[in-house]
Amino acid sequence: MDNKRKILIVDDEPDVLTLLGERLTKAGYDVIKASSGKEAIDIAENKAPDLIILDIAMPGLDGSETATLLREAPKTKGIPILFLTCLFTKQEEKMCGHLLGQNFFIAKPYDAAELLTEIDKRVNPPKP
């Protein structure tokens, strides 16, 4: 039985999906990709990832709106979300400030080791 942790990556930039997907696959994760907020919600409800990495600035349903909808749905409300985004503008800080309690943020460009450490903390928490 395959017990790899599943991570859903959501970004409208194909290069980001490819690079991040390769990095996470090499680290031993099962990677699922989505290029929009709507696609991410559909996948999260059907595939139950262990973590969602979500870009904020996306056309259509942005990352903040996507996260809000994921938090409201019974099947997805407990999935940790990592926002991976460019350095925050005042608008992004305002837009996402209400989500800080349940989520975490890493700025692009990101340090690969730091990103993997943060992911590991969320998908493989220490046992009591």
pLDDT at 124: 75
Residue 85's Cβ-count burial label (10 Å; 0-12, 13-18, 19+) is: buried
pLDDT tens-digit profile of 43-61? 999 999 999 999 888 888 8
d(CA 59, CA 36) in angstroms, rounded, equals 8
In one-letter notation, the amino acid at residue 115 is: L
Residue spans of the domains in the chain: they are: 6-123
Q: How many residues does the chain have?
A: 128
CATH superfamily of 6-123: Response regulator (3.40.50.2300)
- pLDDT average, residue stretch 26-42: 95
pTM exceeds 0.85 for this model: no
Quote the crossing angle between the two packed helices 14-26 and 112-123, to the nearest 10°: 70
